[in-house]
Amino acid sequence: MTNVLEVKDLITRFETPEGTVHAVNGVSFNLEEGETLGVVGESGCGKSVTMLSMLRLIPIPPARVEKGEAIFFGRDLLKMNANEIRSVRGSQISMIFQDPMTSLNPVLTVGRQLTEPLETHRNMDQRQARARAAELLEMVGIPSGKARLDDYPHQFSGGMRQRVMIAMGLACTPQLLIADEPTTALDVTIQAQIIDLVKRLREAMGMSIIWITHDLGIVAGLAQRVMVMYAGFIVERSPVIELYANPQHPYTRGLLGSLPRVDDTENRRLVNIEGAPPNLLTAPKGCPFVPRCPFAYDRCREENPPLMVVEVEHEVACWWDVNRGQPRYDR
């Protein structure tokens, strides 16, 4: 299949009064047409910064992209000028942010916020844009879309505001949709509705999706592949079924072990990952997960492992073979 996006060795840093934050450390991945890629990890692991860096939405300064490429249909997003990247954002690549109440402008009507990208990127006049905006609201499950165009964000519930954000993201029929934890602030019933909506829209429109979350349970029924991040590194990447059946990194195992299972007949206790997330002001000498890893040995402290192939399309950055209980490779 054709690659929609190919990110190569992306490195992002933030300069702060305390020092340099190593936010993204050589991230590489690809995304195929029609595919959904789940990006998983705890807060501060670099998920969102990776995508914002790629779209040139991080504040410069204090941030800077030190290195890398983001090839979108043969063009490097990181080398585009301001007008070129502006024409791509919102039109060919759209992003849904985590909190719709802070992402939507409180002093503009929902209709105005929906029609702006249509007028900018699709050259529609006001009448055409409003008709399309009403269709979009209906498409994402907001009844009486035409009548709601002149309402303000505070007049919608949390779930409805998130649907408005999805409608804005889909307004120009993008080839790539990036969803940054769009269901975190919603209750589980609304979460399920939003996920079902995104799946139906993906099938109808044939777009590719990057779904960012800290919850492995959400991506189980949504993504084809999963990328697990920790401390700005990719530590495991695999087809979703393989990852759940055979997690290879201790961090991934910890994330899965913290999820309650409806099929657990043994009443096993949930797992907690000991320790705290790493301080990204210091670049790790070895594996960044060492302080929290029950399997760490000398090589882990000295050398940060690269991604290594363990099964077909399954890669892990870990010197320890958790299945065999011994080092993966001897020196």
User: What pLDDT, in 10s, does the model give residues 107-139?
Assistant: 999 999 999 888 888 888 889 989 999 988 888
Q: What DSSP letter does each residue of 144-210 carry, written as one string? A: SHHHHTT--GGGS-HHHHHHHHHHHHHTT--SEEEEESTTTTS-HHHHHHHHHHHHHHHHHH--EEE
pLDDT of residue 197: 78
CA–CA distances in Å: residue 119 to residues 126, 128, 131, 172? 7, 9, 12, 10
How far, in Å, CA of 168 to CA of 166, rounded?
A: 5
CA–CA distances in Å: residue 254 to residues 6, 43, 57, 228, 328? 29, 15, 32, 12, 19
pLDDT of residue 266: 64
Structure tokens at 298: 């000398």
According to DSSP, the β-strands at 233-239 and 314-316 are: antiparallel
Cβ atoms of residues 191 and 19 within 8 Å: no
How far, in Å, CA of 101 to CA of 127, rounded?
A: 27
Q: Name the stretches of the chain with pLDDT < 70.
A: 1, 100, 185-186, 260-268, 329-331
Residue of 281, 233, 285, 278 lying closest to 22 (CA atoms): 281
- Evaluate if pTM is beyond 0.85: yes
How far, in Å, CA of 275 to CA of 296, rounded?
A: 14
How far, in Å, CA of 177 to CA of 181, rounded?
A: 12
**Count of other CB atoms within 10 angstroms of residue 144:** 10
pLDDT of residue 240: 92
Residue of 270, 223, 258, 260 lying closest to 243 (CA atoms): 223
Structure tokens at 296: 């760490």
How far, in Å, CA of 325 to CA of 331, rounded?
A: 17
Torsion of CA 108, 109, 115, 116, to 10 degrees: 0
Residues found in the chain:
331
